[in-house]
A = this chain, B = another copy of it.
Amino acid sequence: MTDLSHIDGLVAPRSVAMIGASEDVTRIGGRPIAAMLKAGYAGRIYPVNPKRDTVQGLKCYASVDDLPEAPDAALIAVAARMVPDTIEALGRKGCKAATLFSAGFAEVGEEGLAAQTELVALAHEHGIRLLGPNTLGVYNVDIGYYGTFSSSLDTGYPKPGNIGIASQSGAFGAHLGALARDRALGVSMLITTGNEADITVADAIHWMAERDGIDVICTYMEAVNDPAALLAALDAARAAGKPVIALKAGRSAVGAQAAASHTASLTGDAVVADAVFRDHGVILVRDPEAMMDIAYAASKKIYPAAHSLGVITVSGGAGIVISDEAERIGLPMPAMPQAAQARLKALLPYASPVNPLDCTAQALNDPSLLESFTRAALEDGGYGAVLCFLTYVAGSPAVSDAILAAMKPLRAEYPDRIIAFCALGAPEVLERYDDEGILVFNDPCRAARAIHAICETRAGERATKLTAANSVTLPEHAPDEAEAKSILSEAGVACAPESRAENADEAVTAAEVLGYPVVMKILSPDIIHKSDIGAVKLNLRSEDDVRTAYDAIMQAADTHAPDAAISGVLVAKQLSGGVECLMGINRDPTFGPVAVFGLGGIFVEILDDVALRICPFDAATARDMILSIRGAPILNGARGQEPADIDALAQMLSQLSVFAAGAGERLLSIDLNPVLAMPQGQGAYALDAVIELNEGAQ
C-alpha cells in the first residue's frame, strides 16, 4: 500500500503558512491568502514575512520559528536561494508538507537541477515532502483551500463537484479548471506538480483514487517520471471505479526517440505510452474539451453494461448525422426489435422507429411521444445509452416542464443507463435537465463521443490480468542464431525445426529427421550476409540436393570468406504456405520491455501497422493485439488464403512477452523476423531470431 498521507497535508490542510506573504493581492505571496479569505477557508492562515506585522488583515509572523504551531502545509514563495533555509526552519517546526511556488530550479538548467536535488534531500532529512518546485500549487474547493497563485481565480471560482484534476503543467491545469468552471462543471480539486522533484502526478492521481468525493480523475502529463507509481495509481483508480481521463502531450516528438533495432523504429514513446495507458483502462484524449465532455459524462457515475446507443430525434437529419458519427467511432446502434417498431409505428405513422427513432416535430406538440419513444428505447431496445436530439425544443422554457415530467420517471426507472440530451437554449433551462441526472450537450457528435468513451470504460473492466514473469538467465554474450532459437524454444517460443550439422552426412541425417524440403545455411559468427555469398540454399528436396548444397556452401565460404571460423551448417525444415509476420521486443526507457507484433513487408514498412504492449501478458491479450492490426484480415483468411493459426501466434507472442519480462535490463531487443503463421492447427514458427544484449550490464 502506497503511503500518501503527506498529500492530505498538501491538499486538505487544517492550517497553512504562506512564506513570503504579500499585502499585494496580485503577487505570488499575496494571491493565495486573498483567495482563501474570499472563499472562506475554514483552516488557519499564517502569513510569514519579517517586514510586516499584518498581511491582508491577518497577523503576520516574522519567521517560521515564530509560528504558534506546525502548519499542515507551507506555501513557499521566496527566492530560490532562500528556499533551503526555509525548509530547515519548517523542519524544525515540524511541518511535513510544502508547496514550492519558487522557480529557478531544474527548469533553468544544470545548476538549478543540482540545487533541486539537494533541496529534496534536505527536505526528506527533515521529514518534509515537496510539491514542485515551479508549481502553480493546488486548490480544494470543498474546504476553500487555495494554495495557488493562479490568476484563473480572477475570473471566478470553481464550482465544487466530484471531478479532480492532476496536471504536470500549472497553467494548463488551471486552464482545464477554468474551462470546467465556465461550463458549470464541478471540479473540486486541482493539483499541479511542476518540476516533480518529489511528488509526481502519479501520486496525485493515486491520492484522488483513494479520496472520497472524487469520482472522476482528469490528468495532463508530458513525461512519465515514475512509471511504476503511475501504473499503481492507474490500477488504484480502476479498482475504485474511477475513470482516469488523460491528455498525454508531446506526441509530435515521436520519431525523434526512435531506437536502434528494427521494430523499435516503428514505435516511439507516445505510442508505447498510449498502449500502456489503454491497458490500464485510461481514457485517452487529445483535446481539453473532449476531456471535459467525458469527465462531465462520467460525473454522473453511470457505466452501462451495454455498449450501445439508441437515438431519439426530432430531426431526421440529426439522426443520420449521429448514426454516421457513431459508426465512425465504433459505437454500436442496433435496430429496435420488430415488435417495438410496430408499436411505435402505430403511435406515429410516417416516422421511422428503427434506430435512430424519429419522433418528428410532433414531439413538440405532444411530449408523451417523447416519453413513449424513450421508454421503448430503454425497455425494448435495451441500449446502454439513449441520446435524445431535442435541440432548441428542449431549450424552450414553455416546453421544458413537459419534457421534464416525461423524463423524470424514466430516469428513476433506469438508473443504470445513460440518458443524454442534445439541447440548445438558456443555461438555466438546460440546467434543470442536468439536475435530474440527464446529460446535456449542445453538439450531438460530442455527445456520442463522450457516451462512447464511458461505455468503453466499462468494457475495459474485462481487461485480462497480467501473467507473472519467470526469471530468465541470459547468456554472457549475444547468442548466434542457433543459440537464440534454442533459448527462445526453451522459453516456449516456437522456432522452425532445425539442427546443426558439421559435415554432409550429418546434414543428410538432419534433413531426413526434419523431413524434406529443407533449407541449409552456414554457421559462422564471421559471416553476416550469408545469402550474398551463396551460403544459404533453399528448397532442398533429396539427399543429393543436400550433399550438393553442402559442398556448394563450403566452396562459397572458402572463396568469399577464407578466414572465417565455420562451425558447420544449420539445417532447417523449409516451411511454406503460411503468412509472414514479425514479432519483437524492444526496451522502452520508461516502461521496460515492450512487445511488438505486425505482418511483415509493407504493413510494417509503409503503414506502421503494428500492435504494442508492455510485457508480460497472457495469450488472450496477445490475441487481441494480433487482431487489432489493420492487416488482421490477412490472418483471418482474406485474399483466398487459409486462415492462419492465430492461437499459435498468440501463444508464441505471450511466451515471448513472459520471457522478456523475466530477462531483466540486459535484454535490449529481440527480433523474430519472419515468423511464419501456418494454416489453422499447424502452428507458428520463428524462422530467424536475433537477441541483442547490453553486454556491459550485469
The interface of chain A, by Cβ under 8 A from chain B, is: 107-108, 151-152, 154-155, 167-175, 178-179, 182, 220, 222, 247, 249-252, 286-289, 314-318, 320-321, 323-328, 350, 361, 364, 391-393, 395-396, 398, 424-426, 442-446, 601-603, 605-607, 630-631, 633-634, 638-639
Contacts and interface: CB of A to CB of B under 8 A. Distances in A.
A324 B250 contact: yes
A155 B250 contact: no
A199 B398 CA distance: 34
Contacts of A639: 601-602, 605-606
Contacts of A169: 315-318
Given A287-B325, A602-B639, 5 more contacts: A171-B317, A172-B321, A182-B425, A182-B442, A606-B631
Contact of A315 (B175, B247, B393, B444): B175
Contact of A321 (B108, B249, B391, B631): B249
Given A325-B287, A634-B602, A154 B317 contact: no
B249 A443 contact: no
- 9 A-B pairs closest in CB distance: A169-B317, A171-B315, A172-B317, A249-B320, A287-B445, A252-B327, A289-B443, A152-B392, A175-B391
Contact of A220 (B287, B317, B396): B317
B350 A168 contact: no
Given A445-B289, A638-B606, A424 B155 contact: yes
Contacts of A287: 325, 443, 445-446
A452 to B, nearest CB: 14
**Max chain B CB contacts within 10 Å: which of A173, A316, A328?**
A316
Nearest to A173: B317
A341 B646 CA distance: 54
Contact of A174 (B182, B392, B442, B607): B392
A251 B327 contact: yes
A361 B137 CA distance: 14
Contacts of A151: 361, 364, 392-393, 396
Contact of A155 (B325, B361, B396, B445): B396
Nearest to A27: B365
Contacts of A175: 315, 318, 391-392, 424
A364 B173 CA distance: 17
Contacts of A391: 152, 171, 174-175, 178
Nearest to A361: B171
Contacts of A168: 317
Contact of A250 (B178, B222, B320, B350): B320
A396 B606 CA distance: 49
A330 to B, nearest CB: 12
Contacts of A445: 286-289
Contacts of A327: 251-252
A364 B222 CA distance: 24
A521 B396 CA distance: 74
18 contacts: A154-B398, A155-B392, A169-B315, A175-B424, A179-B443, A182-B424, A182-B425, A249-B317, A249-B321, A250-B320, A252-B324, A252-B326, A286-B324, A287-B446, A289-B445, A601-B639, A602-B602, A607-B630
Given A445-B289, A606-B631, A631-B602, A317 B392 contact: no
Given A171-B361, A222-B317, A247-B321, A392 B288 contact: no
Nearest to A324: B251
A322 to B, nearest CB: 9
Contacts of A108: 350
A272 to B, nearest CB: 16
Nearest to A152: B392
Contacts of A182: 424-425, 442
Contact of A154 (B251, B324, B396): B396
A331 to B, nearest CB: 11
B602 A171 contact: no
Contacts of A631: 602, 606-607
A290 B171 CA distance: 26
Contacts of A174: 391-392
Contacts of A316: 169, 171-172
B171 A289 contact: no
A171 B362 CA distance: 12
B606 A328 contact: no
Nearest to A609: B607
A363 to B, nearest CB: 11
A313 B425 CA distance: 33
From A175, A316, A318, name the one whose CB has the most chain B CB atoms within 10 angstroms.
A175
Nearest to A153: B392
B289 A446 contact: yes
Nearest to A315: B171
A318 B172 contact: yes
A167 B251 CA distance: 38
A193 B442 CA distance: 24
Nearest to A289: B443
- Give the residue among A325, A424, A442 with the most B Cβ atoms within 10 A: A424
Nearest to A150: B392
A171 B356 CA distance: 15
Contacts of A318: 169, 171-172, 175
A631 B602 CA distance: 8
A155 B395 contact: yes
A392 B328 contact: no
Contact of A317 (B167, B361, B398, B426): B167
A227 B252 CA distance: 41
B155 A426 contact: yes
A408 B396 CA distance: 39
B222 A320 contact: yes
Nearest to A290: B445
Contacts of A154: 392, 396, 398
A252 B323 contact: yes
A170 to B, nearest CB: 8
Nearest to A252: B327
A148 to B, nearest CB: 12
Nearest to A181: B424
